[in-house]
Chains A and B, each alone.
Chain A
């Protein structure tokens, strides 16, 4: 059985976990080739999502969260026949830590913090408690274990083209950012898996060509559709199945509280009151995505739909504040993308109704980076949050004072976020994140819009967890569990 899958991304730097720099966007390729020490699973409707050991057998925290022991499943072999053991995992961890990818783990490693115990256990030692370590594993490159022997024989430059792992599939051929052909790994450690004999991953420029390709029978599955009119059209098409993934990262308007106008809390409040989230939800997205008032979303951990005292749309109040301020001029930017551009255009209209003067601009990556580095930006439409707020591009990326992409410097918030990331007990974490959300809302640090998640579209007859069932996306897209994807004969 062959499956053609496509997605609107690229893997320009190859598929070696330690040298790949587009990690978060390449979940499909990575999990197909390497399998993963851990994976995120959920019930079919996306609820009860949790990180479970996969190539790992089990894990345990010790030392109040300062030590993490990961036990490896016995008997796994890389597709080159070499053993998948603690030494191999430690070798990968060491290598991955030197990566320049943003998917490199943010471990507060102690000196010599990566070691092995016996043949099957890797030990990580941290300088401070790190309760989110396992949850953040699924969004970082350390989850993908490459064969050290194959790497040594091939050399880095060749390995990144035809990498060797212990996942459900083996690489047949790989044209960077274009086409990756995979075949079934007959020695995969889960008996009877994968179901597919062959998996081809293609990069497609945009949602529109991908949609056409699915209809023309050129592909079976497409991950990460974001263009609303096309999602609607795909839904109406009886030959396609659309699965809207549970949202985990809400869009928010980051406000730079370090410079005018948003160093003034009143100006920030005006933005809260002038933003009509319900209208955006209805008009732009036809009620597809849930509104969020904090950095969590229904698909993620620690979510609460409302924050007490959150300032919702109130045009009169907004006008009043703008008048009180003697006018307000705002420069609102975003990283160019279909959804973000649409939202910004709508925000401009709404804010102007409150008497705010708004210019919007949609940046290319370098422009965005320059803006942040210069510190002169005023407002940015961004996504914040992740399935686990402490993992990936989590809440810290937008609100922690120590990050270049944050507009907030509040020691109280920093401490809440730090404590929450370190804490092991979920109940305590929940409480801390609720406090953080309340603090952000009270101080009007940045209004949240709605929690957006891409949709996966398949041709009727294709089934699989994360493809036709819901699994919360860990970074951008959902981590599809490719070993359990199958195709019924039409």
Chain B
């Protein structure tokens, strides 16, 4: 059903994304230069003499002017070369791939868990509003939204890793090594990210469904025709609410980036969040720059995707942009 107006919309939005990403890269470079200290100092430690630091700075090319370094970087970045890490001297793109995969897996699992629970819970709650399950789900989701995700993660660790030892407390087992090991190592981090999402989605979906079931004309019509409540709920109300849910999921993707930084730190997962934090700590600005750009692109694309899905699914918007 992708007509040319949609394609044009994609084109236009993609064009708009370019200056944003460029702006982010400039801002990053500028902001990073505000951070005191540099990679040379950081690597040599507290006992290094000023001469040693200067020698390493020169080796790293840190003594060149900021603008020159930025243009140099940009030149490479346009060709997909995000530079060489100041610290490890390895190409940044080599490391980004596996790290993105780890973070992607955690976030993907978190979405699966949160949506997989939020949808049935909201449907049940909306089917019988104000009954036990509805009340419980509202209390849980309201409470859950007020818990800091790092506190929740610590509680999970304390309970399921330290006390019960059901899951490993830290670390990552690659999928290639063991499937169950992989899932076990990601279970707690994924739950830590998924729980607030679950609360958020449940609140949204349940309210939206109840609103529709109680207010919308077509629901009334359908009911009057004698269609069963479950069918009305699933076929009509839920299909409509799905639009909004998709938008929210799209928008969440960008905010999840922040969550992964903390969660990966707590669970020692070798994801992109950990890479970013390590790079900030070692002042490896080439790596920070790469991570930030990747994040910015994900954010922009996620927003774009959410808008597009919305446009494709909701005819009014498509005609409107025409």
> A residues engaging B (CB < 8 A)?
10, 12-14, 21-22, 24, 100-102, 157, 160-161, 175-178, 202, 204-205, 209, 212-213, 215-218, 335, 364-370, 373, 393, 397, 403-405
- Chain B residues lying within 8 Å of A367, measured Cβ to Cβ, are 36-37
Q: Is B56 an interface residue (CB 8 A)?
A: yes
The smallest beta-carbon distance between B75 and chain A, in angstroms, is 21
Which B residues touch A215, using CB under 8 A?
Answer: 162, 165, 169
A209 in contact with B36 given A13-B88, A335-B46 (CB within 8 Å): no
Q: Is B45 in contact with chain A by the CB < 8 A criterion?
A: yes
Instruction: Enumerate chain A residues within 8 angstroms of B40, measured Cβ to Cβ.
Output: 100
Query: In the complex, which residue of chain A has the Cβ closest to the Cβ of B43?
Result: A21
Given A12-B87, A175-B270, A369-B37, A218 contacting B171 (CB threshold 8 A): yes
Q: Which B residues between 261 and 289 are near A, CB-CB below 8 angstroms?
A: 265-268, 270, 278, 282-284
- Of the A-B pairs whose beta carbons lie under 8 Å apart in the complex, a sample of 20, sorted by A's number, is A12-B88, A12-B278, A13-B43, A13-B88, A14-B88, A21-B43, A22-B45, A100-B40, A100-B48, A100-B55, A100-B56, A178-B270, A204-B170, A212-B170, A213-B168, A216-B168, A365-B41, A366-B42, A368-B46, A404-B50
B176 at the interface (CB under 8 A from A): no
Chain A residues in 8 Å Cβ range of B37: 364-367, 369
Q: Are A373 and B50 in contact (CB under 8 A)?
A: yes
Asked if B216 lies at the interface with its beta carbon under 8 angstroms from chain A, I say no
B35: nearest chain-A partner, CB-CB: A366
Q: What is the predominant secondary structure among interface residues of chain B facing chain A?
A: loop
Question: Could you mark each residue 37-75 of chain B with 1 if its beta carbon is under 8 Å from any beta carbon of chain A, else 0?
Answer: 110111111111110110110010000000000000000
Q: Mark B210-234, 1 if CB is under 8 A from A, else 0.
A: 0000000000000000000000000
Encode B17-40 as 1/0 by CB contact (under 8 A) with A: 000000000000000000011101
Least Cβ distance of A339 to chain B in Å? 15
The reply to whether the CB of B89 lies closer than 8 angstroms to some CB of chain A is: yes
Q: Which among A102, A403, A404 has the greatest number of chain B C-beta atoms within 10 A? A: A102
Q: Is B90 in contact with chain A by the CB < 8 A criterion? A: yes
Judge if B312 is at the interface, Cβ distance under 8 Å.
no
Which chain A residues border B88 with CB–CB below 8 Å?
Answer: 12-14, 176
Determine the distance from Cα of A373 to Cα of B49 in the docked complex, in whole angstroms: 10
Report A-chain residues with C-beta under 8 Å of the C-beta of B266: 209
Apart from A12-B87, A366-B37, 5 more pairs, CB < 8 Å: A102-B52, A204-B170, A205-B265, A369-B53, A405-B46
A100 with B50: in contact, given A12-B87, A209-B170, A365-B37 (CB under 8 Å)?
no
Question: With A and B bound together, what is the CA distance between A6 and B55 in angstroms?
Answer: 32
Which residues does chain B contribute within 8 Å of A161, judged by CB atoms?
90
| B45, A216: Cβ atoms closer than 8 Å | no
Measured CB to CB, the closest approach of chain A to B99, in angstroms, equals 10
Would A21 and B162 count as touching, CB distance under 8 A?
Answer: no
B89 touches A209 (CB 8 A): no
The one of B44, B59, B168, B169 in contact with A102, judged by C-beta atoms closer than 8 angstroms, is: B44
Cβ of B118 within 8 Å of any chain A Cβ, yes or no, is: no
Assembled-state Cα–Cα distance A157/B90 (Å): 8
Chain A residue at minimum C-beta to C-beta distance from B157: A212
B38 proximity list for chain A (CB < 8 A): 366
Question: Are A216 and B161 in contact, CB atoms less than 8 angstroms apart?
Answer: yes
Smallest CB-CB A-B distances: 5 pairs:
A366-B37, A212-B169, A21-B43, A102-B47, A209-B170
Residue of A13, A178, A373, A403 ringed by the most chain B CB atoms within 10 A? A13
C-alpha spacing A205/B38, complex, angstroms: 21
Could you tell me if A213 and B169 are in contact, using CB atoms closer than 8 angstroms? yes
Residues of B near A102 (CB, < 8 A) are 44-45, 47-48, 52
Q: Do A212 and B161 have beta carbons less than 8 Å apart?
A: yes
Q: Which B residues lie within 8 Å of A24 (CB)?
A: 45
**Which residue from chain A places its CB closest to the CB of B171 in the assembled complex?**
A218
Chain A hits for B171, CB < 8 A: 202, 213, 218
Instruction: Kindly list chain B residues whose C-beta atoms are within 8 Å of the C-beta of A335.
Output: 46
Contacts of B265 in A (CB 8 A): 205
Interface size on B, residues (CB 8 A): 41
Tell whether, in the assembled complex, residue A218 and residue B282 are in contact, meaning their CB atoms are under 8 Å apart. Answer: no
CB neighbours (8 Å) of A364 from chain B are 37
- Verify A218–B169 contact, CB threshold 8 A: yes
Closest B residue by C-beta to A392? B47
Q: Select from chain B the residue with minimum beta-carbon distance to A157.
A: B89
Pick from B55, B165, B268 the residue with the most CB of A within 10 Å: B268
Q: Tell me, rounded to whole Å, the shortest Cβ–Cβ distance linking A169 to chain B.
A: 21
Instruction: Find the residue from A157, A366, A367, A369 having the highest chain B CB count within 10 A.
Output: A369
User: What are the residues of chain A within 8 A of B36 when measuring CB–CB?
Assistant: 366-367, 370
Q: From residue A335, how far is it (CB to closest CB) to chain B in Å?
A: 6
| B267: A residues at CB distance < 8 A | 209
Partner of A12, one of B167, B270, B282: B282
Cβ of B87: which chain A residues have Cβ within 8 Å of it? 12-13
A177 to B42, CA, bound (A): 15
Q: How far, in angstroms, from A366 to B46 measured CA to CA in the complex?
A: 8
Contacts of B42 in A (CB 8 A): 365-366
Closest CB of chain B to A17's CB: distance in Å?
15
Question: How far is it, in angstroms, between the C-alpha of A204 and the C-alpha of B270 when the chains are bound?
Answer: 11
When the two chains form the complex, which single residue of A160, A205, A365 contacts B45, counting CB atoms closer than 8 Å? A365
Given A216-B169, A404-B49, decide whether A369 and B41 contact each other with a Cβ distance below 8 A: yes
CB contacts under 8 Å to A, within B286-302, are: none
Give Cα A14–Cα B90 distance, bound, in whole angstroms: 10
- A28 and B89 CA atoms in complex are apart in Å by 22
Q: How far is the CA of A178 from the CA of B170 in the complex (A)?
A: 13
Task: Please measure, in the bound complex, the distance between the C-alpha atom of A397 and the C-alpha atom of B47, giving whole angstroms.
Answer: 8
Smallest CB gap from B89: residue in A: A157
CB distance from A393 to the nearest CB of B (A): 6
Chain A residues with CB under 8 Å of B46's CB are 335, 365, 368-369, 405
> Cα distance A369–B41 when bound, in Å?
8
Docked-complex contact B278 and A177, CB < 8 angstroms: yes
A439–B165 CA distance with the chains assembled, in angstroms: 55
Contacts of B59 in A (CB 8 A): 100
Q: Tell me the complex Cα distance, A160–B45, Å.
A: 19
A100–B170 touching, CB < 8 Å: no
Chain B residues with CB under 8 Å of A202's CB are 171
> Which residues from chain B contact A13 at a C-beta distance below 8 Å?
43, 87-89
B47 to chain A, nearest CB (A): 4
Residues of chain B lying within 8 A (CB to CB) of residue A12: 43, 87-88, 278, 282, 284
Inter-subunit contact B47/A204 (CB<8 Å): no
Report the Cα distance A216→B168, complex, angstroms.
6
Q: Is the CB of B268 within 8 A of A204?
A: yes
Give the distance to chain B from A108, nearest Cβ to Cβ, in Å: 15
Question: Which A-chain residue is minimally distant from B165 (CB atoms)?
Answer: A216
Cα separation A369 to B157 with both chains bound (whole Å): 37
Q: Are B268 and A393 in contact (CB under 8 A)?
A: no
Q: Report the separation of the CA atoms of residues A59 and B32 in the bound assembly, to the nearest whole angstrom.
A: 50
Give the docked Cα–Cα distance between A20 and B56 (Å).
12
Within 8 A of A (CB), among B157-194: 157, 161-162, 165, 167-171
